[in-house]
Amino acid sequence: MSAPPVSIIIVTWNAKELVQTCLPSVVATDYPNFEIILADNASTDGTAAWVAREHPEVKIVRHPGNWLFCRGNNAALPHASGRFVVLLNNDVEVPPGWLHPLVEAAAGRPDVAAVQPKLLQYDDRGRFEYAGGAGGFLDRAGYPFTRGRLFETMERDRGQYDDPRDVFWATGAALLLRRSALDEVGPLDERFEMHMEEIDLCWRLWRHGYRVRVAPESTVYHIGGASLPQSSPRKTYYNYRNSLLMLYKNLPPSAWRQTLPLRVACDVAALGRVLAQGRGREATAILRAYRDAFRMRRHYHDTRPAPADPAVLPFYRGLVPADYFLRGRRTFADLPRSRFVLPDDRP
């Protein structure tokens, strides 16, 4: 197979040490036809100067401000020449052969628009990483989880998820995208700013007839928490707000009306949990997220699925919070197979 051109976009902001740690591994990729674009969000720590000096082969796009993840990536796209585009976090280390399986998973399949590798932890390379594991799913209330991670429980990698397959969403930490599909469905939603944007994009790809896959033959190592730590109220805010917006955008109106009460009930339970633990700032973030999500719905009135459109619903029809907190199901393999409604998983 010939090697189609690939553009790797890395967005960064004041993360020079991370770039120094991880970028050399990306430069050492053994794929024969790729370019690296560093999208610098107006860093003040000398990141761009270091990259220009140490890795002159890297194309640097300097943004005038901190445009965060979504706008930072979107603004770099016009500078990308590849048939495929990879969105890669600045805190991901890759082995030399990581790119081949991702390209191979999509190059001969025109309906495959997004592919992720297996993500393991940088500091514990036998354990799945929070952001993507071995491919992502949503439950019927819109809660995300992955093969290898339910809530805060990360499994050890024993090869149990080494089967290439379709998934509902692929992680934005290391995400290969077909450029023509991205041009068709639109780029990352810049109103999201950061968090959940890749799930929204993958949902839109499924709605347009494309597939999303994981290629576990490729494994990368994610430091994680580089943008916002798990306990950050700002991260809580983005996750709750953007999850609500994603549901509103992608569910048919009738499914949205059925899903919203269930989601509110689950989030009220989560609110009570964080209050009981004395995490008042996170509780406030959840309330702000609801307020802003309902204010922002007006932006999506004209782009929602029409009632006559085929519905693309989350693949897991169970409720992960109930599975995890009430039934003690701690791993992806513990979830009942009967609750998954999957498309035909073609090779």
Give the tens place of pLDDT for each residue, 282-337: 999 999 999 999 999 999 999 999 888 888 999 999 999 999 999 999 999 999 99
Amino acid of residue 9: I
Domains of the chain plus CATH, in order, are: 6-222 (3.90.550.10), 233-307 (no CATH)
Amino acid of residue 132: G
The pLDDT tens digits for 34-72 are 999 999 999 999 999 999 999 999 999 999 999 999 999
Lookup: tokens for 221? 């190592």
Q: At what angle do helices 197-207 and 233-250 cross, to 10 degrees?
A: 10
Computed on alpha carbons and rounded to an integer, the radius of gyration of the chain in Å comes to: 19
The residue count for the chain: 347
Overall pTM > 0.85: yes
pLDDT, the chain, mean = 95
Lookup: tokens for 115? 């592919």
Predicted confidence at residue 193, as pLDDT, reads 95
The pLDDT tens digits for 32-42 are 999 999 999 99
CA neighbours within 13 Å on the CB side: how many for 338?
0
Distance separating alpha carbons of residues 322 and 329, to the nearest angstrom: 9
The pLDDT tens digits for 125-178 are 999 999 999 999 999 999 999 999 999 999 999 999 999 999 999 999 999 999
Q: What confidence tier does 88 reach under pLDDT thresholds 50, 70, 90? A: very high
